[in-house]
């Protein structure tokens, strides 16, 4: 195991991420009008816990900011500061700052104070306003670790332990009250120790200590206080037992004992009082310094029982044993049951100790296990191999011509099902809710809207939708860009909105949902919609399309994805930083995703991203073309048809279309397209796969035959071969043969001009 | 037999730090995530010392101490409050509920260990 503190530190940062997520949630609820104390408390606790942990690792900057933040939040919690819109917005900014601080702290770095100053000052101003009214003088001191009773070099704890343990084990007593047995030995011990350096004991104190019943109620035990005193020097202790009250007045906390201790020590009165820190106010305590040189007198002090009370006093060389026996009711309010249990309970702690690692995790809903991603990926790879292996086995067995009802065949079916289930389950491990990603977008919206002076509210839907972790990570950049675009270009200025009869506040909605085996993420704004005239004229002026070219609305919208296109009148400092929608498009494509736009003038624009659930496997259709075996993603094939003699029509010299229920769809011969074969003279007997594209266009791919529909494991090619147009990846088939997995959208986009009259519109 | 210490804190980091400190010091260690969970654990564990945070979901430290003091088997078990706050008001409330002592976060491991010995031998 590596350095345990390092592990705890790592785990702290993981917890921070969770806490920050909770904080965002709570703030979003507060923004939505939920001002219940529980919601505010959740937010407060998140900041508070981050502060607490950060303190433990000496992350002072993080502690400082969290503390300032927490102070204001506490005012909100206590109701002295009203929850207003601007406060919630400030909290959001603080949450962002906190998240930045956590991030840099993780790398052992700091944020510049300048960067933090504006927020910190706002927070302090808020706290200050409050302090003026409610006088809270100690927020900064508040975090000083306070002294714990015994902070003294003399106190030799291990020794104390050992001397405690020996007699304890004999009496097999676990309850603290029973440790009184040990005190005699310990007292003698301490005495010996002190005698050795008696010459050094320069001060003499007389301490009177009389517990109030309250002291016992709070679980304090005078025995341990006396012991701590003894550890300070040489103590002579006298115990006085008050006359017993009537039996009726006896209670578990009845206080009958008081002590007078004469202590020779090197420490001062403050250190003595510190011993009684926990019981301050729960006892009568007098600490009087005696004149130096009166040590002899002190020695006789215990011999003068009458000086404190007329009651019978027990002179204590072995100080506490007698009182314990004399007044069992007093220091030991343990119920009788306790005495009986230790032997019975003894084996139990061991059993429970096993659970100590995470007792809570198991019993709480949403329990989690943290596993290294590498391990999961190893598992994913192994399962991938298993799938291939299973496919090979199926194929070999099929080749033997066994009947479908044979035991082997049924067994194989079950094996196949199980393999698939295992694969799904393993993929689920990698899946994460998109929530964390969406939360990051909240910040983007806040920052973007502030910099262009618009009021924008982000709504999120379907945050629990799960998708592969890698997809989530790689989605962050494109999504950030699109959100910025939506705020910057999609939404109108406040004046324009008001003039158009819309709310001053613009809305951006980010939603995720499962749709037929894929995850669809939509970014919708309620802005003015795409100004197609302008898009077109820009595309013309940049030479992206021919002037006067006739384009459908969808085609115009898709111009946005062309490299070098930017509609911003002037490059704003927000979305114009060199990254265009073409980069977004490429990023989505590289994830096996597709992107589409729909826009309505005056109502708004929606960007729709459709993504595979996982990057590791694919439901594929295995087809043959000119003796080559190829795989197409099943999700892209909407229909398969066999071509009849009357179905194909020529359109111009080289373009052919196929009639599908009264609609003509351009025909693309896959073999020709990929260079496997010459154009065919007739299409009779060939099979057509109808490919539905994200933009609603359809195309018909001609193949020789369909072999199978099955799950294939994706093996990336890009590392070895770079990006091959039209090819997404490769896979290993059941017979060990390697087959290319095609990317139909890319393929059609690159298809030669024969079938696509407007190659310019093809999306690269 | 080593002392058995039961710590209740909603922060996982804090629980891990406490656990590390306690095990290093040779104590037995049990953990719970909040007051409510703490009370459940007390049904099967009888610690020599209880350490609790104050600000926790479901059942906070004050409520937990209250409930612990109301149980026969834990009515006099020492309870140390481990919290980042140290205001007199907090101490008064903690004591009112029945807390034995308090330690301020971030805690010095040695001090925590000494405080445990201080209240439980």
Stretch A375-389: mean pLDDT, rounded? 84
Minimal CA–CA distance to A238: which of A155, A309, A329, A337?
A: A309
Q: What is the pLDDT of residues B49-83, one digit of tens each?
A: 999 998 888 898 999 999 998 888 888 899 999 88
Q: Count of A–B CB contacts within 8 Å?
A: 194
SS (H, E, C) A594-615: EEEEEEECCCEEEEEEEEECCC
| Closest CA of chain A from B40, distance in Å | 10
Helix %, strand %, coil % of chain A (to 5) = 50, 20, 30
Interval A277-310: pLDDT, tens? 888 878 888 888 887 655 444 433 343 334 444 4
pLDDT band at A367 (very low <50, low <70, confident <90, very high): low
Q: Which of residues 304-333 of A touch B (CB under 8 A)?
A: 333
Lookup result for tokens 């939360």 = A439
Name the CATH superfamily housing domain A617-763.
Answer: CheA-289, Domain 4 (2.40.50.180)
Residue A86 exposed, middle or buried by CB count within 10 Å (0-12, 13-18, 19+): exposed
Question: In 3D, which of A311, A337, A333, A326 has the Cα closest to residue A250?
Answer: A333
Q: Is B20 on the interface with A (CB under 8 A)?
A: yes
For the cut 70, the answer to whether the pLDDT of residue A463 exceeds it is yes
Of A8, A337, A353, which has the smallest distance from its Cβ to B17's Cβ?
Answer: A8
Pairwise CB contact (< 8 Å): A176 & B48: yes
Domain assignment present for B42: yes
**Cβ count within 10 A of residue A154:** 16
Chain B residues with CB inside 8 Å of A341's CB?
46
Chain position carrying tokens 């993080």:
A62
Q: What is the pLDDT at residue A696?
A: 58
Nearest CA in chain B to A7: B16
Chain B nearest-CA residue for A173: B1
pLDDT at A88: 87
Which residue intervals of A493-626 are DSSP H helices? 494-499, 532-541, 553-558, 581-590
Q: What is the pLDDT of residue A311?
A: 43
pLDDT at A146 over 70: no
pLDDT, tens only, A547-592: 877 888 888 888 888 777 765 444 444 444 445 787 788 788 778 7
Query: Is residue B39 very low, low, confident or very high in pLDDT (cuts 50, 70, 90)?
Result: very high
Residue A374 has pLDDT above 50, yes or no: yes
Q: Which residues span the domain enclosing B9?
A: 4-108
- The residue-averaged pLDDT of A62-71 equals 89
Contact A231, A153 (CB under 8 A): no
For A145-167, the DSSP string reads PPPPS---TT--HHHHHHHHHHH
The yes-or-no verdict on residue A160 having pLDDT over 80 is no
Question: Of A210, A176, A172, which is closest to residue A346 (Cα–Cα)?
Answer: A172
Contact between B95 and A355 using a beta-carbon 8 Å cutoff: no
Alpha carbons A304 and A293: distance in angstroms, whole number? 19
The SS3 call for residue A547 is coil
Give the per-residue pLDDT at A694: 56
CB-CB neighbors (< 8 A) of A145 in chain B: 104-108, 111
Residues 6+ apart with CB under 8 A from A269: A205, A287, A289
For residue A140, is pLDDT > 90?
A: no
Contacts of residue A15 in chain B, CB cutoff 8 Å?
A: 11-13
- Put simply, whether B81 touches A (Cβ < 8 Å) is no
In B, minimum Cα distance to A179 occurs at B121
Strands A257-265 and A233-241, by their bridges, are antiparallel
Of A51, A348, A358, the CB nearest to B84: A51
Minimum mean pLDDT among A91-100, A242-251, B44-53: which range? A242-251
Q: What is the pTM of this model?
A: 0.55
Record: contact A151-B111, CB cut-off 8 A: yes
Report the complex ipTM: 0.84
User: Backbone phi, then psi, for A624, in 5-degree steps?
Assistant: -115, 140
Residue B102, H or E segment = strand B101-104
CATH number at residue B104: 3.40.50.2300
Do the first three CATH levels of A434-612 and A617-763 match, i.e. the same topology? no
Tell me the chain A residues in contact with residue B43 when contact means C-beta distances shorter than 8 Å.
none
Residue B117 domain-assigned? Answer: no
Confirm or reject contact between A566 and chain B (CB < 8 A): no
CB contact under 8 A, B69 and A277: no
Chain segment A185-215, per-residue pLDDT in tens? 333 344 444 444 555 677 888 888 888 888 8
CB contact under 8 A, A219 and B55: no
For residue A150, list chain B residues with Cβ-Cβ distance below 8 A: 114-115, 117-118
Q: How many helices (H) and strands (E) does chain B have?
A: 5, 5
Say if residue A508's pLDDT is above 90.
yes
Residue B52 maps to a domain = yes
Question: Could you tell me if A349 lies within 8 Å of chain B, comparing CB atoms?
Answer: yes
Number of structural domains found in chain B: 1
A337/B117 touch (CB, cutoff 8 Å), yes or no: no
- How many other CB atoms are there within 10 angstroms of residue B34's CB atom? 23
Give percent above pLDDT 70 in chain A: 75
Q: Are B75 and A145 a contacting pair at CB < 8 A?
A: no
Fold topology of A434-612: Heat Shock Protein 90 (3.30.565)
Judged by a CB distance cut-off of 8 A, whether residue B73 touches chain A is yes
User: What are the domain boundaries of chain A?
Assistant: 4-132, 144-356, 373-431, 434-612, 617-763
Q: Does B17 touch chain A (CB under 8 A)?
A: yes
Residue of A nearest to B25 (CA): A158
Q: Tokens 């009845």, residue? A: A254
Question: Using CB atoms, which residue from A45, A216, A337 is nearest to B72?
Answer: A337
Q: Does residue B82 belong to any structural domain of this protein? A: yes
The mean pLDDT of B83-96, rounded to a whole number, is: 81
Q: What is the mean pLDDT of chain A?
A: 74
pLDDT at A199: 55
Q: Give the whole-number percent of chain B exceeding pLDDT 90.
A: 33
Order the strands of the B101-104 sheet from edge to edge: B28-32, B4-8, B49-52, B79-83, B101-104
Pairing of strands A705-713, A617-625: antiparallel
Instruction: Calculate mean pLDDT across residues A5-19.
Output: 86
The CATH code that applies to domain A4-132 is 1.20.120.160
B119 within a domain of the structure (yes/no)? no
């Amino acid at each position: 195991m590596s350095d345990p503190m390092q592990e705890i530190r790592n785990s702290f940062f993981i917890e921070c991420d969770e806490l920050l997520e909770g904080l965002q949630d709570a703030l979003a609820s507060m923004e939505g009008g939920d001002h219940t104390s529980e919601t505010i408390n959740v937010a407060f606790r998140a900041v508070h816990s981050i502060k607490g942990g950060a303190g433990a690792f000496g992350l002072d900057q993080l502690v400082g900011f969290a503390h300032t933040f927490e102070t204001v939040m506490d005012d909100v919690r206590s109701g002295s500061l009203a929850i207003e819109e601007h406060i919630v917005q400030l909290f959001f900014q603080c949450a962002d700052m906190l998240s930045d601080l956590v991030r840099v702290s993780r790398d052992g770095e700091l944020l510049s104070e300048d960067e933090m100053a504006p927020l910190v000052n706002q927070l302090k101003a808020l706290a200050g306003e409050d302090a003026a009214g409610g006088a809270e003088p100690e927020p900064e001191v508040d975090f000083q670790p306070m002294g714990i009773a015994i902070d003294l070099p003399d106190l030799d704890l291990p020794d104390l332990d050992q001397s405690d343990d020996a007699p304890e084990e004999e009496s097999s007593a676990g309850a603290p009250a029973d440790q009184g047995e040990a005190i005699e030995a310990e007292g003698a011990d301490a005495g010996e120790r002190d005698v050795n350096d008696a010459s050094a004991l320069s001060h003499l104190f007389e301490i009177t200590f009389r517990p109030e019943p309250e002291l016992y109620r709070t679980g304090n035990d005078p025995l341990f206080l006396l012991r701590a005193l003894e550890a300070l020097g040489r103590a002579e202790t006298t115990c006085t037992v008050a006359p017993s009250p009537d039996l009726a007045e006896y209670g578990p906390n009845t206080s009958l004992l008081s002590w007078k201790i004469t202590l020779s020590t090197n420490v001062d009165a403050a250190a003595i009082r510190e011993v009684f820190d926990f019981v301050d106010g729960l006892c009568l305590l007098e600490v009087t310094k005696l004149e130096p040189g009166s040590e002899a007198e002190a020695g006789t002090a215990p011999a003068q029982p009458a000086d404190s009370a007329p009651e019978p006093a027990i002179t204590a060389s072995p100080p506490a044993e007698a009182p314990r026996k004399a007044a069992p009711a007093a220091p030991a309010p343990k119920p009788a049951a306790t005495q009986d249990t230790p032997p019975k309970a003894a084996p139990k702690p061991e059993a429970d100790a096993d659970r100590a690692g995470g007792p809570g995790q198991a019993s709480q809903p949403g329990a989690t296990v943290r596993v290294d991603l590498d391990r999961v990926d190893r598992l994913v790879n192994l399962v991938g191999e298993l799938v291939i292996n299973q496919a090979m086995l199926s194929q070999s067995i099929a080749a033997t011509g066994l009947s479908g009802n044979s035991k082997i065949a049924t067994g194989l079916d079950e094996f196949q099902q199980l393999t698939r289930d295992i694969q799904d389950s393993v993929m689920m491990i990698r899946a994460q809710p998109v929530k964390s990603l969406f939360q990051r977008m909240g910040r983007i919206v806040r920052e973007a809207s502030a910099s262009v002076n618009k009021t924008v509210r982000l709504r999120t839907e379907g945050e629990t939708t799960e998708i592969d972790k890698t997809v989530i990570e790689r989605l962050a950049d494109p999504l950030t860009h699109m959100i910025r675009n939506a705020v910057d270009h999609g939404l109108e200025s406040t004046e324009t909105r008001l003039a158009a009869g819309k709310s001053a506040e613009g809305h951006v909605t980010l939603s995720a949902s499962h749709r037929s085996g894929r995850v669809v993420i939509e970014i919708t704004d309620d802005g003015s919609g795409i100004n197609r005239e302008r898009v077109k004229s820009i595309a013309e002026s940049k030479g992206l399309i021919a002037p006067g070219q006739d384009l459908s609305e969808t085609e115009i919208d898709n111009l946005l994805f062309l490299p070098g296109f930017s509609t911003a009148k002037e490059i704003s400092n927000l979305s114009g930083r060199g990254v265009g929608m073409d980069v977004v498009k490429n990023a989505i494509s590289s994830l096996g995703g597709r992107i589409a736009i729909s826009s309505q003038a005056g109502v708004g624009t929606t960007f729709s991203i459709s993504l595979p659930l996982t990057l590791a496997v694919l439901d594929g259709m295995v087809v043959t073309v000119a003796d080559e075996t190829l795989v197409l993603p099943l999700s892209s094939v909407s229909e398969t048809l066999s071509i009849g003699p009357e179905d194909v029509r020529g359109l111009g010299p080289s373009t052919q279309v196929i009639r599908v229920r009264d609609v003509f769809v351009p025909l693309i011969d896959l073999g020709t397209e990929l260079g496997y074969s010459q154009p065919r003279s007739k299409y009779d007997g060939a099979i057509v796969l109808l490919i539905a594209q994200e933009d609603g266009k359809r195309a018909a791919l001609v193949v020789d035959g369909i072999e199978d529909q099955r799950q294939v494991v994706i093996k990336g090619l890009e590392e070895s071969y770079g990006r091959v147009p039209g090819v997404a990846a490769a896979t290993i088939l059941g017979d060990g043969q390697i087959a290319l997995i095609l990317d139909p959208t890319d393929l059609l986009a690159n298809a030669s001009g024969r079938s696509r009259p407007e190659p310019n519109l093809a999306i690269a | 037999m080593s002392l058995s210490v039961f710590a209740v804190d909603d922060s996982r980091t804090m629980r891990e730090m406490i656990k590390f400190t306690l095990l290093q010091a040779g104590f037995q260690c049990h953990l719970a995530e909040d007051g409510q969970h703490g009370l459940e654990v007390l049904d099967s564990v009888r610690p020599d010392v209880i350490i609790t945070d104050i600000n926790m979901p479901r059942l906070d430290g004050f409520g937990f101490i209250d409930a612990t003091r109301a149980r026969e088997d834990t009515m006099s078990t020492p309870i140390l409050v481990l919290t980042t706050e140290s205001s007199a008001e907090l101490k008064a409330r903690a004591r009112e509920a029945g807390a034995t002592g308090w330690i301020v976060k971030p805690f010095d491991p040695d001090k925590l260990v000494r405080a445990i010995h201080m209240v439980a031998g």
